[in-house]
Amino acid sequence: MPVITKVQPCAKPKPATEPGGKRVTISEEPKWKKLKKPQRPIIKKEVAQIHESVVVRSNVSLDSTCSSDSSASSNETNKKVMSESRRSVKRNGFNPARVVPDAVDVATLSLSRKRCDWITQHSDPLYAAFHDEEWGVPVYDDDKKLFELLVFSQALAEHTWPAILNQRDLFRKLFENFDPSSIAQFSEKKLLTLKINGHSLLSEPKLRAIVQNAKQLLKIQQEFGSFSKYCWRFVNHKPIRNEFRYKHQVPAKSPKAELISKDMMRRGFQCVGPTVVYSFMQVAGLVNDHLLTCFRYQECNVTTKNEFKTEFKDKMVLNETLVE
């Protein structure tokens, strides 16, 4: 005969009394054991930082199997080289160059330099290089270069700067390296042959204007000694320094450009309106229209021709020193 056993109910927690007389219930297990410590969630930014640190470490230590002796000796050698280079940098008066980490892309660093707003990361590389090396640099005593820039300023009415720069070699070939004495002798037949892939390089009025301007430039050379002296006398032989912060502040023309335009047209030049002349002044460095935030503003901010030549020589010496 089966024995029926009574199941004893779980003992209820006994009430107790606090010293103040308040009744509390004493549980079998302390509350602090039941409470779990909340875990702080991992933020995505921290994960990215951890990932970057792993990438940098992996790039820095390319060979993890090197012995401790060889790594210690290489570290001592590197410290000596760095200390010597720092001493030479301080002795020469140059600022120390930044060391680029292996995980950083050099192309992104080149874009980190602040340029004028019309140069972006999507700009044509030739156009960006032209901005960094030529645009706004004062051109002294080089009539061929000045005439080339004047022709390009005229061509802007039909082409953009990137399109002109991509065809620059063809321009120089067809226009005899912009030698005014050679262009002044172009015949009607020669003008009709100035084509690229069967298409005319410029419109016929522009081509005729270039030949006419070459003839007038030769007359200016006889009167003033050079086309450079003629141009720079309008700005008292030193560049005009504008201090624009935004591209919408840069004008399309100026009173000085209107003055030069009137004088050139009076002398027989063609297609040299104030807008063309002001573009020529910008590219030839008669006016510094780099924005204040652009790294080229101070580099193009020379005062006189002698100062420009001195600064150019100093940069050449600096480049040769860095190469050595």
Render pLDDT for 175-233 as a digit per residue (tens, 0 to 9). 999 999 999 999 988 888 887 666 778 998 999 999 999 999 999 999 999 999 999 99
Q: How many CB atoms lie within 10 A of CB 130?
A: 19
The rounded distance, in Å, linking the Cα atoms of 210 and 282 is: 20
Measured over the CA atoms of residue 307, residue 308, residue 309 and residue 314, the dihedral's sign is positive
pLDDT in tens, 20-33: 454 545 444 554 54
Residue 250 and residue 244 in contact, taking contact as beta carbons nearer than 8 Å:
yes
Q: Say which residues have a Cβ less than 8 Å from residue 60's Cβ, sequence separation at least 6.
A: 101, 102
Burial of 87 (0-12, 13-18, 19+ CB in 10 A): exposed
Q: Say which residues have a Cβ less than 8 Å from residue 181's Cβ, sequence separation at least 6.
A: 214, 218
DSSP letter assigned to residue 11: P
- 242-246 contacts: CB < 8 A, separation 24 or more? 242/287, 242/288, 242/289, 243/292, 244/289, 244/291, 244/292, 245/291, 245/292, 245/293, 246/117, 246/291
176-200 burial, b at 16+ Cβ within 10 Å, e below that, comes to: eebbbeebbebeeeeeeebeeeeee
pLDDT at position 143 is 97
pLDDT at position 237 is 92
pTM beyond 0.75, yes or no: no
Q: Is 237 annotated as a binding residue?
A: no
Q: How many CB atoms lie within 10 A of CB 26?
A: 9
Residue 231 and residue 149 in contact, taking contact as beta carbons nearer than 8 Å:
no
Q: Sorting pLDDT into bands at 50, 70 and 90, what band is 64?
A: very low
Residue 111 has pLDDT above 90, yes or no: no
Q: Is 231 annotated as a binding residue?
A: no
Q: Is 294 annotated as a binding residue?
A: yes
Q: Is 271 annotated as a binding residue?
A: no
